[in-house]
Structure 1
Amino acid sequence: MMKELLEYDKTGLIETLWKCDPDIYAILRSSDNLQDARNNMFDYLNDIERHLFNIYSDKHFKDINILERNNAKECIRVFKNIIRTENEEISNFSVLNVLYKIAKKKIDPDKFTAGFVIEFIFLFKGINCTSGLYAEKDVPLFLRLSGFEAALERTKSLDNYAVNMENFFKRYKTGLDEDMIKERRMNKESIQAFFHAGESDWYDHKWQLKNIIKDIDTLQGMVRLSSDELKGLKCAKKHKIPFQITPYYLSLFDRENTGEYDHAIRAQVLPGEEYCLNYVQSKKSGSSLDFMDEKSTSPINGITRRYPQILILKPFDSCPQICVYCQRNWEITDIRDAVFSTETMGNAIEWIRNNPNITEVLITGGDPLTLNDTAIDWLLSRIADIEHIERIRIGTRVIVTMPQRITDDTVEIFGKYHEPGKREFCIVTHFEHPAEMTPDSLYAVKKIKKIGISLYNQQVFTYYNSKKFESCLLRRVLKKSGIDPYYTFNTKGKNETIDYRVPVARIEQERKEEARFLPGLVRTDEPVLNVPRLGKSHLHAWQDHEIIMILQDGRRVYRFYPWESKYALVEPYNYIDVSIYDYIIRLKEDGEDVREYSSIWYYF
């Protein structure tokens, strides 16, 4: 049904809406005022809910599949939430008022979007147990059999799941595919020729740092850019927004820009025009670009602390390569301007020494492995010298962006501070897409693993890695390569990163309908939303968040309950999501079969 709805005009959508629940339409039409409509609506929803799970209800309700009834229960919960006066006040918007006016034909259709109407089409269908999720599904045959016959039948269904997953995997490339290795070798040779560099230069991270690409002409000399990419880069130049790409990472581009496999790679490092304009607007408005409000969780310069036993230590405020969607774009500087201050770090480390509650230090930034070995050794030795520190993490992306940085000397330094039984040293890296795992990255991983150090991955779930089973393939590639999936972050709600953001419902759907097919040791990552100032809120439990409103443009408003909510009276965080409708339209324009995403509307 979803594919057809996308073709309807607003009039057709409204007609469909009322057909999905004529009773709601009748309530809205017959109510004399909004409060009357609200009271009648709660009575109606409560009545449905009672009948859905009442053993004395009539046969109609008893015959409905329990899965459909459970979905109806969740839809009713959401609808009740968004027509509550308290949530109207919090969000400064009334869904009920808009629906009331639509029913009475007293509102300009320009006051709401197609995305708004479609949200309620699916919600009403869910409430009435006509979601379509289960309409064509029968009870699996293996559940009607037993013993060996059941086992054979179960095997068939599991094989079908596995084949379906493998078919999706074939849509994407990994950097370990033979054809990709060959193409990127040619890219490397082309870049070397541009810089008049030899093999020894290429595998020297100092050469890579010296030749970071940060201007349009140099970039255009090596890869083809689309008109939109050029607009974005020119806008970045005009407003002095830095971009940085290592020669190595540039070799991962599809040089001819065919769009076949490098969508996620380009999107990470090429700032788009909308990103730049939103960034500038945010700065002009005076609003803080520090979305996570790290300044309010920094007890001393160089430290961020949101949890009882771990803190972040930030020794360096740049990276070999700048990710467009970086949450710290407010403090990441051009690599030429970045400074490592032994005084600042010395004071921060002394602060840690004086706080015995801190048992773990995450060194991140900026990318700390941009520093030289002397600075890294100095830093690690002083942290390791603190008796109550039992784990040191380094958060780095150089394994992805400049794997040449993982030298034998650097690995030897890491090994000095990894003492099982006393102190763990580990690395958290940041692969976004399976196309980023290359033989060079794998070689760097093997060096680290050889001395017994664990590696973990944090993925940011963006539009560019959110297609069906795309992130599942990343998990598989990572795990085979010796890296454990650790966190999957919902993209931050920063205005400038709107092109990257994905609805919460999509990350929930990915977890339930895609990641769940992988073995448990492969899907070890936790899906989370990082709540400003307070930290991570898990996305797999409805107790941690709830929908409190759906705005006129189809965006859902969520209330997130921080991890401390059972221990302290911390205020919830209200988050305005991106529209599911806009996300689906974008997928459709990129050639996706949107029917494969139909259940997304029922993830709350």
Structure 2
Amino acid sequence: MKDIITSSREELAELLWKSDPIIHRILKNSINVHDSRNEIFRYLDGIDTALFTIYSHSKQDMNILEKKNARDCIRVLKTILRTQNEKQSHFSALRALYNIARENRVPKNISEGFIFEFIYLFRGINGNSGLFAEKEKPPFLNLDGIKAALERTMFLDDYSKRMDLSFKKYRTGLDHDLVPERNDMKQRILQQFGGNDEDWTDYKWHLDHIISDIDTLQSMVALDGGEIRGLKLAIENNIPFQITPYYLSLFDRENRKQYDLSIRAQVLPSVTYCQNFLRSIRTGTSMDFMDEASTSPIEAITRRYPKILILKPFQSCPQICVYCQRNWEIKSLQESSITKETVLKAINWIKANPHISEVLVTGGDPLTLNDSIIDRLLGMISDIEHVDRIRIGTRTLVTLPSRFTDNLIDIFSKYHKLGERDLCIITHFQHPTELTPDTIDAVSRIKKQGINIYNQQVFTYYNSKKFESCLLRKTMKKSGIDPYYTFNTKGKEETIDYRVPISRLEQERQEEARLLPGLERTDESVFNVPRLGKSHLRAWQDHEVIMILPDGKRVYRFYPWESKMELVEPYNYVDVSIYNYLKRLYYDGEDIDEYKSIWYYF
């Protein structure tokens, strides 16, 4: 694949027609688009029939896995060709292909990504995906007993070696050579602010020294030109930007673009992010991707599911993540304000609704509040008889582990009563470099109280390389944190730098996470449908590709979780281009041939 990723559109068009000369001939010889549609449907039906009949000789020698992939590609291509989907997506991929074939040229609006999608679809329907061409049937399948077992063991060892080799490309915050570097950064930060080691263990000291200006940041770490331009744009336009001293200690001081790439990306707003953020404000485009305004029955509450809701008692965080779902309502620490009356009304609303059994306290980050407020808040929720689980949604375990004082953990323990009420923590580690000795200390003290900790990862470009998220899962699990969800990054224009094709998330789950032991891959990959909530990506019945746009982006139709129970409307989502993602990986030094099956995850 890497040998054609830099090909011109004209070269790719030639490759496209070589991938299926019959479709090319149909398009060239058809009277009109309608005629070509009917002919292609008949052609695809013929292939489909030949794939799984004993009376067809043309497909008899094809491997059953290649046949399955061909059938999937036929299903997708048929869906793309349907007029209803053209109407819904406001584009006809068939018409674009028709024009390319008839005019023997590629229009300017048709991208390489568009052509790539159809090259792989055409190859797929003909059993030429390339996924199995160089592979032979594993020898252990032809053996029995101990011989089969030994051969299978060698096969599994190869899988494991491949994963272990990939792990060596990344770092964890527990690596012995990285811990001293970060201790040096810690001392540099303390010196900058006139603090000492005792201050470092005081979360209030960290909150008093939040970094939110370029000069302070540059005095401690190197920033490149792009980072500086992004930060200046954010500050000039009041786009929230905050980093805790602790999290800054995870930076590579010299900015060598290695282990801290994901760390920096989470907190340093890029130029693209700021420009798109400002464009949304200027054009009046809502940044409330999940449409929480339509799922909030009362201020400070969001509800999308029958038994659980979200309670938001605070609108800020010690540190602001660039890709935050709620960036439209997150404020700086100084600006955040939700009144006591608002929170009391929300709690009374929960109390009056006996159908709610679980409350996720999040925000913002509720652990920014002081202990006495947290104690009162949890006490009021615990007094509601029908609430039997309280989740604390917080990222302070990642950004400010000193927040977990013995007093705070004692408060949690007071409301965690086995058999009566569960209290757990939902956190948000993004990369294995975020797991540190300070994290382990906090987790250890929390777990001693029998309190479980679960992680919700957002799958972004910066943790999407081969086996990168697997190392995160592995490191978390042995540190006492259970993987819970892996989210597709919300489809907000300002987060385009972070978004990854859905097919990559599906590929990662099937080809990488699946190699881990079951207890390390307990997370579920999901897409959040606005208003309605999570749709599980492992279930192909819950989503389908309905169109390929000129820029190579797939349009997905998502069917909400309750679509078999109620007449809920599906949601159409425009993904990011697979081609652009692979090209970005290519220029970042990745071997994109390792990702070649990505085109066949739908």
TM-score with structure 1 setting the length: 0.99
CA displacement, residues 305-348 of structure 1 (integer Å, 9 cap, x when unaligned): 00000000000000000000001001100101112422111111
CA displacement, residues 237-264 of structure 1 (integer Å, 9 cap, x when unaligned): 1211110000000000000000110010
Q: How does 1:403-414 map to 2 (within 5 A)?
A: 403-414=401-412
In the alignment, the residues of structure 2 paired with residue 284 and residue 561 of structure 1 have an alpha-carbon distance, to the nearest angstrom, of 32
Q: Secondary structure at the match of 1:110?
A: coil
Match of residue 326, structure 1, among 324, 327, 332:
324
Paired position in structure 1 for 2:22: 23
Letter in 2 for 1:100: Y
Paired position in structure 2 for 1:33: 32
Q: Which runs of 5+ in 1 are unaligned?
A: none
In the alignment, the residues of structure 1 paired with residue 178 and residue 288 of structure 2 have an alpha-carbon distance, to the nearest angstrom, of 38
Indicate if the aligned counterparts of 1:316 and 1:340 stay in contact, CA closer than 8 A: yes
Q: How does 1:409-420 map to 2 (within 5 A)?
A: 409-420=407-418
Q: How does 1:495-574 map to 2 (within 5 A)?
A: 495-574=493-572
Q: How does 1:342-421 map to 2 (within 5 A)?
A: 342-421=340-419
In the alignment, the residues of structure 2 paired with residue 48 and residue 108 of structure 1 have an alpha-carbon distance, to the nearest angstrom, of 28
Indicate if the aligned counterparts of 2:10 and 2:105 stay in contact, CA closer than 8 A: no
In the alignment, the residues of structure 1 paired with residue 233 and residue 589 of structure 2 have an alpha-carbon distance, to the nearest angstrom, of 28
Offset at 1:108? Answer: 5.0
Paired position in structure 2 for 1:208: 206
Paired position in structure 2 for 1:244: 242
In the alignment, the residues of structure 2 paired with residue 563 and residue 344 of structure 1 have an alpha-carbon distance, to the nearest angstrom, of 31
Paired position in structure 1 for 2:6: 7
Tell whether 2:95 aligns with 1:93: no
Letter in 1 for 2:375: D
In the alignment, the residues of structure 2 paired with residue 465 and residue 529 of structure 1 have an alpha-carbon distance, to the nearest angstrom, of 17
Q: How does 1:44-63 map to 2 (within 5 A)?
A: 44-58=43-57, 60-63=58-61
Indicate if the aligned counterparts of 1:278 and 1:495 stay in contact, CA closer than 8 A: yes
Offset at 1:288? Answer: 1.1
Q: Which runs of 5+ in 2 are unaligned?
A: none
Paired position in structure 2 for 1:84: 82
In the alignment, the residues of structure 2 paired with residue 446 and residue 92 of structure 1 have an alpha-carbon distance, to the nearest angstrom, of 54
Letter in 2 for 1:155: T
Tell whether 2:148 aligns with 1:150: yes
Percent identity over the alignment is 63
Indicate if the aligned counterparts of 2:398 and 2:435 stay in contact, CA closer than 8 A: yes
CA displacement, residues 396-453 of structure 1 (integer Å, 9 cap, x when unaligned): 0000000000000000000000000000000000000000000001111111000000
In the alignment, the residues of structure 1 paired with residue 501 and residue 5 of structure 2 have an alpha-carbon distance, to the nearest angstrom, of 18
Q: How does 1:183-262 map to 2 (within 5 A)?
A: 183-262=181-260
In the alignment, the residues of structure 2 paired with residue 215 and residue 5 of structure 1 have an alpha-carbon distance, to the nearest angstrom, of 44
Offset at 1:106? Answer: 6.2
In the alignment, the residues of structure 1 paired with residue 15 and residue 247 of structure 2 have an alpha-carbon distance, to the nearest angstrom, of 49
In the alignment, the residues of structure 1 paired with residue 298 and residue 263 of structure 2 have an alpha-carbon distance, to the nearest angstrom, of 35
Paired position in structure 1 for 2:70: 72
Q: How does 1:177-188 map to 2 (within 5 A)?
A: 177-188=175-186
Match of residue 480, structure 2, among 478, 482, 485:
482
In the alignment, the residues of structure 2 paired with residue 588 and residue 135 of structure 1 have an alpha-carbon distance, to the nearest angstrom, of 23
Letter in 2 for 1:469: F
Match of residue 112, structure 1, among 107, 110, 113:
110
Q: Secondary structure at the match of 1:365?
A: coil
Q: Secondary structure at the match of 2:309?
A: strand
Q: Secondary structure at the match of 1:425?
A: strand
CA displacement, residues 551-600 of structure 1 (integer Å, 9 cap, x when unaligned): 01100000000001011100000000000000000001111011110100
Q: For this pair of structures, how many residues does the alignment match?
A: 602
Q: Secondary structure at the match of 2:563?
A: helix
Indicate if the aligned counterparts of 1:98 and 1:107 stay in contact, CA closer than 8 A: no
Letter in 2 for 1:247: P
Paired position in structure 2 for 1:173: 171
Q: Secondary structure at the match of 1:548?
A: strand
In the alignment, the residues of structure 2 paired with residue 482 and residue 107 of structure 1 have an alpha-carbon distance, to the nearest angstrom, of 58
Offset at 1:7? Answer: 2.6
Paired position in structure 1 for 2:126: 128
The two structures, once aligned, show a CA RMSD in angstroms of: 0.7
Q: Secondary structure at the match of 2:103?
A: coil
Offset at 1:4? Answer: 1.4
Offset at 1:109? Answer: 2.7
Indicate if the aligned counterparts of 2:13 and 2:106 stay in contact, CA closer than 8 A: no
Letter in 2 for 1:53: F
Indicate if the aligned counterparts of 2:310 and 2:360 stay in contact, CA closer than 8 A: yes
In the alignment, the residues of structure 2 paired with residue 114 and residue 165 of structure 1 have an alpha-carbon distance, to the nearest angstrom, of 31
Offset at 1:107? Answer: 5.7
In the alignment, the residues of structure 1 paired with residue 296 and residue 573 of structure 2 have an alpha-carbon distance, to the nearest angstrom, of 23
In the alignment, the residues of structure 2 paired with residue 4 and residue 120 of structure 1 have an alpha-carbon distance, to the nearest angstrom, of 17
Offset at 1:371? Answer: 0.4
Indicate if the aligned counterparts of 1:312 and 1:362 stay in contact, CA closer than 8 A: yes
Offset at 1:111? Answer: 2.0
Q: Secondary structure at the match of 1:393?
A: strand
Indicate if the aligned counterparts of 1:487 and 1:525 stay in contact, CA closer than 8 A: yes
In the alignment, the residues of structure 2 paired with residue 300 and residue 16 of structure 1 have an alpha-carbon distance, to the nearest angstrom, of 56
TM-score with structure 2 setting the length: 0.99
